[in-house]
Structure 1
C-alpha cells in the first residue's frame, strides 16, 4: 500500500518545515517538475476546449466576500482579515475561493449573448484555515493551488457546458491513469444556516445537474453541497479505501445575482447569466498526492520527473553518456546522468528503478553508438541505436501513452 506522504519524501518530491508551518508543504525540484507538467497539461486541455486563462490576486477586500456570501457562510474556514495602512486602512482577506474574482472579471466588460458561453480559467492560489488535526501531506493543506474555471452562459447553455466539463474530466483521468470511484450529486442538508436560503435557486440548479447526470450512475448525498448551490463531485479512493473529492462541476444562480451580472440578449435587454463552476483536477496538491499513490511513484512517461537516466559503466564512457543526455534534453526529454561516482552499476540501476528508461553505455555500446536499454517494467530491449532510443522516448512522452516500448 502506497502512502504519498512517505513516498513523496523518499522520492524527494515535497517536504515540510515547522518554520513554514503545518499544512504548508514546499515542492522539491522533482516534485516541481511533476507539478509544472501537470499544470501545463491542464492549460493545454482547457485552451483546446475554448477557455481563456486569467490571473487574479490572492487577496480581496472583505466586502468582496460579503457580497459573494463567503463571509456569512464560510468565514470559519477563512483566515482573519488583515488591516492595511498601518492599522487604519481597509480590511483585506486571503481568498478562500477564486469564484468572486472571476465574477468581477466577467463584470468588468459588457457582454452580448453572441459572446456566450464566456469561459475563463486560472491555476490560482487560495487559502483555507484548516484545523491542524486534519492536515496531512498534500491532501489537506492551507495553501492550495486550484485548477479552477468559470463559464458564464445563458440558462439554455448550462447543461451542455456542464456535460462538456465532465467530458474534460474523463479525458484527464484517462491521460493521468486516475479511476473515478463514483459520481456524487451533493445536495444541502443539516443546518439551514450553512446554505443560501433560496429554495427556488436550489430547485433550479439541482434539476439542471440531474439532467447533466442523465445516463451516468450517481448517488445523491445530503450535506455536501457548496453554500451557494448543489454540485457534482467526482470521488476517488486512496489505497486504504478512504474517499475524497477530486473534481467538481457546479451550476450557480447565486453569485450572478449577488454581483448583478448580466448580458445583452437578442431582444436588446439585460439578462442574468448562469455561472458554471468546474475543476478538472481539483487542487494540484491533492491531484499529485493521488497520482503518487495510484502509480506508486512510477509516473506515466510524460509526467515522470526524469524520463531517461543514462548510466556509463565506467569513466571512459562518461563523455558518450553526457552527449546522450545533451541530445535528449535538446529534444525536450528530461534526462539525467548517473555516473560511476554514484556507486556500482547495480546500485545505480536500483536507485533509478522508477525512471521509465535506463540507458547503459559500456565499451561496446560506446563504440557502436548504441545504449543497452532497460525498462522500468523489467524488460530489456537490448542494444538500441541512440537515435532510435531518443525517437521512441520522445514519441511516448509526447503521446501520453501507457506502453513503454511498443513493437516497432
Structure 2
C-alpha cells in the first residue's frame, strides 16, 4: 500500500512550502512531466472527439457568479471577493460560467451543435485546512473540464459519448477499481429550486447509465447545486474512495445566461449544457496514479523513460550521444554518469525507470544497445535504431506493456 504524499516527495514529484500555503503544492520537474503527459493525452483524445480548446481567466466579477448561481449556493467554498476599484472580482470556483460567456459571445445555429468546448484550467476552492491532504484535496485545482452545448435531442447521446471517453481513458491509465454513481440532491442542501429541471436531467442521466450497461448506485446529497451528475468513483490502495470523473446535464445555467441558438424554424431555442471531465483534476489523477503504480509509471507517463549508464568515463561520449539521439526522437532519457556512484548503485537509483541500458566498451564500439527492463527482463543487444524505434512505438501507443514482440513491430536483429 502506497501513500502518494510520502512517495511523491521521495520521487521528487511535488512538495509544499509554508510560504506558499497549505493546499497549494508546487510541482518539481519530474512531477510536471507526469502531469504534462496526462494533459497531452486528454487534449489529444478531446481533439479526436471533436472538441475545440479555449482558455479563460481564473478571475471573474462577483456578478458573474451571482448570475450562475454559485454565489448564492456555493459561496462558502469560494475565496472572498477582492475589491478592484468600484468592482469586486473573485477567484473562480469552476469553469462553466466562463464557458457560458464564451458561447454567448457569438451567435449560433442549430447546424453548429453539438458545440464541444474544452479547457484544462485553474479554479480555486476555499477548503478548510483540516480537510487538505497531499494532491487529493487542494485549494488550487487544474481541472480537465469541458462543456457541450447541444439540443435537447442530442444531450443523452453527448453524455453517453463522454462516459465512453472516460472508460477509454481509464483503460489507457490502467484504472480498474471503478464504481458509477448517480448523484442526486438530498435534504437540507443548497440546490436550485426547480423540480422540473431536476426531473428532466435525472431522467436523461438515468437513461444514459441504463443504456451503458454499467451497474450504478443512486446517492442522495451528492449532486451539484444546479443538477444531478454521474460520478465515476475510484478506490485507492488503502480502500479510500473519491470522485475522479463526472458527467452532468445542466438546464440551469443556459437559462441563467440566456443562451440560445437559432433553430431550423428560424426561432431562438435554449441549448442544453453537458458538463464532463474525463480525468477530473490533474492533482487528484496524479495522486491516484502514484499510489496505483507505486511510482513505477507506464512508460508513456514516466518522468524518465530510459536511463543510459556508462560503465566508466571512457564510454561517456558514446553514452551522451545515445541520450541525445533518444531526446531527438522524442524520448525522455537521462545520463547516469560514473561520478554518480557505482554501476550497481546507479541501477538501483533508476529502479523506477522503465528502460535501462548499460554502455560498456563492447556496446560503445558496436553501436548496439542491450536493455534491462524495469520488471527484470533483459533484451539481447541490438542496433540502437531498432531498440529506440521499438520503445518509441510503445510510448506513442501508450501501451501498458514494457516490451511487445507482437505483429507489426520489426523483430530485433
TM-score by shorter chain over 0.5: yes
Q: Indicate yes or no: 2:137 matched with 1:140.
A: yes
TM alignment of 1:344-359, pairs within 5 A: 344-359=342-357
Aligned to 1:206: 202
Aligned to 1:76: 76
Aligned to 2:123: 126
Aligned to 1:379: 377
Q: Deviations over 1:308-331 (max 9, x none)?
A: 000000000001100100110110
Mark the CA change 1:180 to 1:111 in structure 2 (over 3 Å): closer, same or farther.
Answer: farther
TM alignment of 1:4-403, pairs within 5 A: 4-85=4-85, 89-192=86-189, 194-214=190-210, 215-403=213-401
For residues 172 and 179 of structure 1, what CA distance do their matches in structure 2 show? 11
Report the CA distance between 1:101 and its aligned residue. Answer: 0.4
Q: In 2, are the aligned partners of 1:309 and 1:337 still within 8 Å (CA)?
A: yes
Q: In 2, are the aligned partners of 1:374 and 1:382 still within 8 Å (CA)?
A: no
Residue 300 of structure 2 aligns to a residue in which SS? helix
For residues 215 and 390 of structure 2, what CA distance do their matches in structure 1 show? 39
For residues 373 and 45 of structure 1, what CA distance do their matches in structure 2 show? 31
Q: In 2, are the aligned partners of 1:231 and 1:250 still within 8 Å (CA)?
A: yes
Residue 266 of structure 2 aligns to a residue in which SS? coil
Residue 354 of structure 1 aligns to a residue in which SS? coil
Structure 2 unpaired stretches of 5+: 406-410
For residues 347 and 385 of structure 1, what CA distance do their matches in structure 2 show? 27
For residues 312 and 393 of structure 1, what CA distance do their matches in structure 2 show? 20
Structure 1 unpaired stretches of 5+: none
Report the CA distance between 1:387 and its aligned residue. Answer: 1.5
For residues 19 and 273 of structure 1, what CA distance do their matches in structure 2 show? 45
For residues 185 and 32 of structure 1, what CA distance do their matches in structure 2 show? 33
Report the CA distance between 1:173 and its aligned residue. Answer: 0.7
Residue 163 of structure 1 aligns to a residue in which SS? helix
Q: Identify the range of structure 1 (130-139 vs 367-376) with the bigger mean alpha-carbon deviation.
A: 367-376
Q: Deviations over 1:63-83 (max 9, x none)?
A: 000000000000000000000
For residues 201 and 403 of structure 2, what CA distance do their matches in structure 1 show? 48
For residues 31 and 165 of structure 1, what CA distance do their matches in structure 2 show? 27
Report the CA distance between 1:373 and its aligned residue. Answer: 1.2
Report the CA distance between 1:382 and its aligned residue. Answer: 3.0
Q: Deviations over 1:86-129 (max 9, x none)?
A: xxx20000000000000000111111111100110000000000
Report the CA distance between 1:180 and its aligned residue. Answer: 4.4
- Runs of 4+ in structure 1 off by over 3 angstroms are none
TM-score normalised according to structure 1 size: 0.98
Q: How many pairs are equivalent?
A: 404
Report the CA distance between 1:381 and its aligned residue. Answer: 1.3
For residues 320 and 186 of structure 1, what CA distance do their matches in structure 2 show? 58
